[in-house]
Amino acid sequence: MAANELDFQFGGRLSLDLTWTLRYRSVAPTELLAAPSDLGRWITEAVAPVREPLTAPDLASAVELREAIYAGATSSLAGEDVVRGVRETINDFAARPAPFRSLVGHAGATSHLRPGAEVECALAVVALDAVELLASADGRLRVCEGPGCSLVFYDSSRPGTRRWCSTERCGNRVNTTTYRRRLAVKKPNT
Ligand SMILES: [Zn+2]
């Protein structure tokens, strides 16, 4: 189980992971990027280590991109075209210099943010993932069925039948609730 309900969560698609920093969007929006330092932690966990101090405009940029990605995903889920303003925002972020990679050891590589443009660079790679995700329009976007969750995720399972943002988080919770309910119903008979 997740250590903390409000820890950052990652589901394998960087662009959607950024949208996951606003939890319970449909019932009780909970902002995980409350301060620039929160964004620094997110980028460090999601992309590469941040070494420079972040600012309020950095945070505003990340939120702007996040909301554009969410709007784009919502359109895609509805089978609609991504509106122009949203496309332009995502494209603008995606056009900036992306992180660079370097080989380490004998079988591995690591990402680095460009000094002096760390946030710009991290958001560029997030936006590039959004471009790929929304361009593919492959019918694999889903909304988590977990109670109150509503996170949008990409279903990369082979049969395409995934229902939860994460089995550990929402899958277990649903199973536990169903199990308890079943027990509660059974009790009078036993
Ligand atoms: Zn969920």
pLDDT in tens, 33-59: 999 999 999 999 999 999 999 999 999
Alpha carbon of 152 to ligand 1 centroid (Å) = 8
Expressed in angstroms and rounded, the spacing between residue 132 Cα and the centre of ligand 1 is 23
- Cα 54 to Cα 45: distance, rounded to the nearest angstrom: 15
**Ligand 1 mean position to 143 CA, how many Å?**
8
d(CA 62, CA 51): 17
pLDDT at 178: 66
Rounded to the nearest integer, the mean pLDDT of the chain is 91
Cα of 20 vs centre of ligand 1, distance in Å, is 10
Percent of the chain with pLDDT over 90: 79
Q: CA 147, 37, 45, 120 torsion: positive or negative?
A: positive
The whole-angstrom separation of Cα 72 and Cα 55 is 26
Residue 161 has pLDDT above 50, yes or no: yes
Report CA(57)–ligand 1 centroid distance (Å): 29
Q: Is 76 left (phi over 0), alpha (psi -120 to 50) or beta?
A: alpha
Q: In the prediction, which pLDDT does 78 show?
A: 95
Instruction: Please give the distance, rounded to the nearest whole angstrom, from the Cα atom of residue 24 to the centre of ligand 1.
Output: 9
Expressed in angstroms and rounded, the spacing between residue 79 Cα and the centre of ligand 1 is: 22
pLDDT-derived band at 171, boundaries 50, 70, 90: confident
- The pLDDT of residue 180: 66
**Residue 153 CA to ligand 1 centre (angstroms):** 9
- Please give the distance, rounded to the nearest whole angstrom, from the Cα atom of residue 11 to the centre of ligand 1: 10
* Residue 75 pLDDT class (50, 70, 90 cuts): very high
Q: What is the C-alpha to C-alpha distance for residues 120 and 11, in angstroms, rounded to an integer?
A: 22
User: pLDDT-derived band of residue 4, with 50, 70 and 90 as boundaries?
Assistant: confident
Mean pLDDT of 13-24: 97
pLDDT of residue 172: 80
